[in-house]
């Protein structure tokens, strides 16, 4: 697949290979977010709203501080978009009965609908790529991406899912 005819210089090969990875990530993320971004604009929302809607939908009952740890942004940045989503009835807050300081977040019908719309687009893109690449490539894709993620957050992705070994 990767026809490197320069076997003479392994260092060059390595750098070229790594630069390709950098570029693949850039282009893939650019296009991966491009479609949702366009949809969000119609709602007066941006990518930050998308992230909140996605992770709240994925983890119903998640608290603000848990969300902050995932997004790695400041309380202010989250607060702005979150309060907007609550105000416009995309997201609901209810007090945790165990610890009444906590606000448990969940999607309201409007939020669920938008979440589905956005996730559907992204899923379709991934599904197509997965289908074309085959199961073995998919495993490789997952493995490498996990390796790129900071160690402390790797568990976030594979614990929840089919990757139960």
Q: Name the site residues for DNA (rule: CB under 7 A).
A: 40, 44-49, 63-66, 72-77, 79-83, 93, 98-103
Q: Could you say which of a copy of itself, DNA, none residue 83 binds, taking C-beta under 5 to 8 angstroms by partner kind?
A: DNA
Closest CA to 67 of 14, 101, 26, 106: 106
Q: Could you say which of DNA, a copy of itself, none residue 126 binds, taking C-beta under 5 to 8 angstroms by partner kind?
A: a copy of itself
Q: Does 19 bind a copy of itself (CB under 8 A)?
A: yes
Q: Does 8 bind a copy of itself (CB under 8 A)?
A: no
Residues contacting a copy of itself: total by CB under 8 A: 67
Q: Could you say which of a copy of itself, DNA, none residue 31 binds, taking C-beta under 5 to 8 angstroms by partner kind?
A: a copy of itself
Q: Does 25 bind a copy of itself (CB under 8 A)?
A: yes
Angle at 106 between CA 51 and CA 116, to 5 degrees: 55
Q: How far is the CB of 136 from a copy of itself (least distance, A)?
A: 6
Instruction: Return residues touching a copy of itself (CB under 8 A).
Output: 1-4, 13-32, 34, 51, 54, 58-59, 72, 119, 122-123, 125-130, 132-134, 136-150, 153, 156-164
């Amino acid at each position: 697949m990767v026809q490197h005819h320069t076997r003479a210089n392994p260092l060059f090969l390595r750098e070229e290979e790594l630069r390709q990875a950098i570029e693949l990530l850039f282009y893939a993320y650019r296009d991966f977010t491009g479609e949702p971004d366009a949809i969000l604009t119609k709602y007066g929302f941006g990518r930050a709203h998308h992230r909140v809607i996605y992770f709240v939908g994925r983890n119903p009952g998640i608290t603000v501080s848990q969300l902050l740890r995932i997004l790695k942004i400041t309380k202010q940045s989250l607060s702005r978009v979150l309060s907007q989503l609550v105000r416009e009835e995309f997201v609901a807050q209810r007090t945790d009965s165990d610890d009444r300081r906590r606000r448990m977040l969940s999607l309201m019908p409007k939020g669920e609908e938008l979440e589905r719309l956005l996730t559907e687009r992204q899923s379709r893109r991934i599904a197509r790529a997965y289908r074309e690449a085959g199961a073995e490539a998919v495993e490789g894709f997952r493995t490498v991406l996990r390796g790129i993620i900071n160690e402390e957050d790797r568990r976030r992705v594979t614990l929840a899912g089919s990757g139960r070994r």
